[in-house]
Amino acid sequence: MNKVFLQSLTPFSYSLAPLSFSSNPPCSFLRFSLRASSSRAMASHIVGYPRIGPKRELKFALESFWDGKSSAEELQKVAADLRSAIWMQMAEAGIKYIPSNTFSYYDQVLDTTAMLGAVPDRYNWNGTEIGFDIYFSMARGNASVPAMEMTKWFDTNYHYIVPELGPDVKFSYASRKAVDEYNEAKVLGIDTIPVLVGPVSYLLLSKPAMAVEKSFSLLSLIDNIIPVYKEVVAELKAAGATWIQFDEPMLVKDLEAHQLQAFPYAYAELESTLSGWNVLVETYFADVPAEAYKILTSLKAVTAYGFDLVRGTKTLDSIKQGFPPGKFLFAGVVDGRNIWANNLASSLNTLQALGDIVGKEKVVVSTSCSLLHTAVDRVNETKLDEEIKSWLAFATQKVVEVNALAKALSEQKAEVFFSANAAALASRKSSLRVTNETVQKAVAALNDSDHRRATNVSVRLDAQQKKLNLPILPTTTIGSFPQTADLRRVRHEFKAKKISEEDYVNFIKEEINNVVKFQEELDIDVLVHGEPERNDMVEYFGEQLSGFVFTANGWVQSYGSRCVKPPIIYGDVSRPKPMTVFWSSTAQSLTKRPMKGMLTGPVTILNWSFVRDDQPRFETCYQIALAMKDEVEDLEKSGITVIQIDEAALREGLPLRKSEEAFYLNWAVHSFRITNSGVKDTTQIHTHMCYSNFNEIIHSIIDMDADVITIENSRSDKLLSVFREGVKYGAGIGPGVYDIHSPRIPPTEEIADRINKMLAVLESNILWVNPDCGLKTRKYSEVKSALTNMVASAKLIRNQLATAK
């Protein structure tokens, strides 16, 4: 029998000790105190794990390589050390089913594209094994060609690179990453489950390539990609793998009948290759609909099924109504998308009930999804409030929770550990710091109004134009300007109290002054102050709002090397004092051109935070909206006439099931309107939205009633198709004219061509010219060239329009 080793535990803490895996590891990983002996591994599983490292080691290695400061071998060494540390960490914790091939240098869907050799022609791939040059060109573009489209991964803040497919794509086995990583773990003595994006989900997550008819059936390519999957499976079998995990998250969506039928077809085609193997099909992020559940649980050659039982609680009803005898149920009861400690007693009850249905020996305790979407390790938070810290569990701690539940299900319950968990949950529930009655009363009063501005947008735009006197096709940027090493250093020194507040303020003022002059020299029409005082567009506001707490190392990957540090919303939210008025009014005093006040909207703050789970999300969002309403009105009083309230993540929060969309969109749009319903007609309200498919929610975007919306469009023209189909949009709109996520500088002619495509479906009097996102991650040399070309293209089209008249 296994024994549970428990070191001294404070209320629901995980006691950890250093564990190193190489002579010169890039980071320090940690040993679990709750371990399984080697006699028998428990029935536990992790869907996936964060790849960035506890201190963002992968981010820094990638950016060093991209900047030419380190070699490919050095990047590969950092990656290998991270992978081996993760595997050894899970093995030490007693996890039985440890995943491999969940690590990625950029994105797991892009890895699958590389595996299949589905490289768009513009990258001039020669058909050999895909290396970093082609791989990163697809992800980021290069000097000659743009990157592939990037969009949200379901309803998370992670982004994936969208495959571009068509009838002429010649699929071939072009990346052996899955096999290489399995062998890499095997050398360490760890037998992993290789993870692949399932063939049907891969095709459904793709789009027709540029020259391919939009009506092209992506699922018609299933027979073309299955042979490559067979080759991968055969190599993994030969290497000694006994399990494989196919991620098929599209099964949680509302699929049409022909899409659902692609699953049994694909797995029937794979059946002979998979014969004699243990096959797990993993789903996550929502319930699996009843019809999809029937199809999934009847797939040929499948041994096990994985379900998200945190966000997909209705799936429990399907399991109760019938589960295939003799199959394994991978029960995702530990939340992979939030940072709150698991309610172990409740989860154990769920697992025991499932055991009664399918047989306890067939239940495998798992995470609800990959832990990619949560922070890495709570042990690195040495300055976090101890009470709040006891309420949290990051990826490392969630691995412990999974193992503790698996052991408890096997009659080896760690009573001390469970008691500490119960004490932490009780502490959170009774804590006085969580509740603010004034805030709750203000939210309750919101039912009295739908918070719309008094006049319609066309009247407001006329009033604003009289005041602002902007040219046709006005130019602007989205908000942030490059964050230089000096700027980051000064912010860090101020936070560490190494420089005075006076010195810090003077430095930031000078930085703002430089950004204003920079824009005036480029002849941009509506300016921004560049946000030099801000570390992150959500964290900056959360630090100044009550009800938030922040981590030092709670980083989460957004895409590639881009990481965010989501705030933790633990209590009721309010605004103690103005947050941006000083900096915005300072910037406006430096120029006669309009200066945008820059705010992050309530829905985005919500969706890009780790949100409390003890009240409905919409109530928390309304609290944030009221706080931002106070800020908007203070900006207006200070003389700011253009205020941008970014809702970059509004689409991201859209539920995966259509039946739930209307409720979400109603409160999300209402939250935005709350922030600005009280401003004058002459105050122009902008909003901005990032990478997502907006077509299906265009009417909700219109209902937001913003005066101007700037929106990502540079990697895809999907948005323009809405207007081609006849949707009428009367407010100002600025579809991004170039991609800021790529180092590539678009020439003036290319940007002008994009503007002309926009003018084919949009009136010239509402069109704005802007990049597709903030410039924070770019270098000044890149920004200057790109914005110069952008302004030149706007002037070129203005002249053409004037001549035509």
Question: What positions carry a catalytic annotation?
Answer: 741
How far out from the chain centre does Cα 296 lie?
Answer: 27
Helix (H/G/I), strand (E/B), else coil: 6: coil
Q: CA-to-CA distance for 345 and 66, rounded, in angstroms?
A: 47
Q: In the sheet that 546-549 helps form, which strands lie side by side, from edge to edge?
A: 546-549, 568-574, 610-611
Whose CA is closest to 85, among 71, 98, 68, 96? 98
Measure the CA dihedral 352/358/362/365, to 10°: -40
What is the residue-wise DSSP string for 565-576? ---EEEEEEE-S
Q: Could you tell me if 178 and 201 are in contact, meaning their C-beta atoms sit under 8 angstroms apart?
A: no
DSSP code, position 85 = H
Helix (H/G/I), strand (E/B), else coil: 801: helix
Strands (E), 335-389: 363-367
Q: Could you tell me if 461 and 474 are in contact, meaning their C-beta atoms sit under 8 angstroms apart?
A: no
DSSP code, position 379 = G
For the four alpha carbons of 753, 758, 763 and 767, in that order, the dihedral sign comes to negative
In three-state form (DSSP H/G/I as H, E/B as E, the rest C), the secondary structure along 31-77 is ECCCCCCCCCCCCEECCCCCCCCCCCHHHHHHHHHHCCCCCHHHHHH
Measure the CA dihedral 34/186/558/662, to 10°: -80
Q: Could you tell me if 298 and 271 are in contact, meaning their C-beta atoms sit under 8 angstroms apart?
A: no
Strand partners, 597: 643
Q: CA-to-CA distance for 400 and 406, rounded, in angstroms?
A: 10
DSSP code, position 276 = T
What is the residue-wise DSSP string for 735-790? E-SS-TTS-----HHHHHHHHHHHHTTS-TTTB-B--SS--TTS-HHHHHHHHHHH
Q: Could you tell me if 393 and 557 are in contact, meaning their C-beta atoms sit under 8 angstroms apart?
A: no
- Give the number of other CB atoms < 10 A from CB of residue 647: 29
Number of C-alpha atoms within 13 angstroms, CB side, residue 510?
Answer: 9
Q: What type of residue sits at position 200?
A: V
How far out from the chain centre does Cα 59 lie?
Answer: 15
Q: CA-to-CA distance for 244 and 266, rounded, in angstroms?
A: 15
Cβ burial 123-157 (10 Å sphere, 16+ → b, else e): bebeeeebeeebbbbbbbbbeebbbbbbbbbbbbb
DSSP code, position 440 = H
Strand partners, 644: 598, 686
Whose CA is closest to 600, among 555, 546, 562, 544? 544
Rounded to 5°, the CA angle 275-356-402 comes to: 70
Q: Could you tell me if 412 and 550 are in contact, meaning their C-beta atoms sit under 8 angstroms apart?
A: no
Q: What is the CA radius of gyration of the chain?
A: 26
Q: Could you tell me if 90 and 44 are in contact, meaning their C-beta atoms sit under 8 angstroms apart?
A: no
Map tokens 């797990």 to a residue: 280
